[in-house]
Amino acid sequence: MERDDNIDIIRGILIVLVVLGHYGEGLLHDVIFLFHMPVFLILSGYLFKRDKLLDSEYILKKVKLLMIPYACYMLVDFILVRRDISIRVLCHMLWGGRAITGIYWYVTCYLSSIMIFALLLKKFSDRTVKRLILAGGGLAIIESYVTERIVLLKSPGIPWNIDVALLALVYISFGFYHKDKIQEWILSENRKKDYIYVVIALCLITFCILNYSRDIPFYYFDMKPVYYKELVSAVIIPCAFGIVIVRAVYWMQKYRVTKLLRYVLRFLGRITIPIMFMHIPVNKLLAFLNLGPLMYLLLGIGIPTILTLLLNRYKLFRLLFACSIGKF
């Protein structure tokens, strides 16, 4: 199937936000964490094909494509960057999820979500699948409150952050079951509807101003530590941000001045896995430079991109580090 440039550009925007979101704590981190991973999951659901999900060979291929780089990047990180490979650390690496810092939790949570979603599609009707996933989302909210009170659920937590799949499935299923609506958001030529998208953007800006002008924000969201207190907002807010991003990409296609930016984002959208895994270790190695957010972003994207271009030349490295770029 031919790649969709719009999808790659959206991925590129999201991976830029992932890198920026890991530049310390603060307003930038909190706002980005409201939506960046949920939108990634919604996009994944949108791209899934039913026949593929029902094919066990496809699922096994996904396991291979994700878990081999997961293990390789983690080993490189702990041996060369953290320089800690003790028995305790090895146990944490096997446990994954909240037991280790970094973005490793997302891969295992995502993979678990895919396998659970595929199983549900095989065993139940769509109506039942939707009900089960909604119920799972409710359980995720309950768990969020329980985790606050049980130390072991905070860390090391559940192996591979599989519990977060309860909420991740809500996002994946949203993308999967609303393909037509998402396609409309991506391609719609109806200019009148853009007024609605502008209103959505203004509502998000107003929400952020009201939320973060307080000493203690009234709303906070973070998937990895299971911090989500209410399901409706946990779905509506990422969807609203997603709509704004999608329409921004649509309008970017209309102006020549954005051609270079589109090209860069499209390229980054094809190497999201290497950037996701490498940007934190790279910036840890360069922490002595006391980087500001802009340099953190440029190095967190630039160095993984250069390494990906180098590794892409060799078939073995393309397999080990998921750095295949394909035709571009």
Q: What is the pLDDT of residue 102?
A: 93
Total Cβ atoms within 10 A of residue 15: 25
DSSP symbol at 313: T
Mean pLDDT along residues 249-271: 91
Instruction: Give how far Cα 1 sits from Cα of 4, 49, 59, Å.
Output: 9, 11, 18
Q: What is the pLDDT of residue 186?
A: 80
User: What's the first-to-final CA gap in the chain, in angstroms?
Assistant: 15
pLDDT per position as a tens digit, 280-299: 999 999 988 998 999 999 99
- Would you say residue 211 has pLDDT above 70? yes
- Would you say residue 190 has pLDDT above 80? no
3-state secondary structure of 6: helix
Task: Give the percent of the chain with pLDDT over 90.
Answer: 80
Q: 49, 114 in Cβ contact below 8 A? A: no
Name every residue whose Cβ is closer than 8 Å to that of residue 85 and which is 6 or more positions away in sequence: 78, 79
Q: Provide the residue type at 299 as one letter.
A: L
Tokens 């981190």 label which residue?
Answer: 29
Predicted confidence band at 110 (pLDDT cuts at 50, 70, 90)?
Answer: very high
pLDDT per position as a tens digit, 43-64: 999 999 999 999 999 999 999 9
pLDDT per position as a tens digit, 122-167: 999 999 999 999 999 999 999 999 998 888 888 889 999 999 999 9
Beta bridge partners of 227: 222
- Would you say residue 4 has pLDDT above 90? no
pLDDT per position as a tens digit, 218-227: 999 999 999 9
Q: Select, from the ranges 90-94, 134-138, 246-250, the one with the highest average predicted confidence (pLDDT).
A: 134-138
pTM of the predicted structure, to 2 decimals: 0.95
Mean pLDDT along residues 185-195: 79
Q: What is the pLDDT of residue 327?
A: 64
Distance CA 16, CA 7 (A): 14
Q: What is the pLDDT of residue 117?
A: 98
Cβ neighbourhood burial of 173 (10 Å; 0-12, 13-18, 19+): buried
- Would you say residue 1 has pLDDT above 70? no
Mean pLDDT along residues 243-254: 90
Q: 17, 300 in Cβ contact below 8 A? A: no
The mean pLDDT of the chain is 93
- Would you say residue 236 has pLDDT above 70? yes
Q: What is the pLDDT of residue 321?
A: 95
Name every residue whose Cβ is closer than 8 Å to that of residue 180 and which is 6 or more positions away in sequence: none
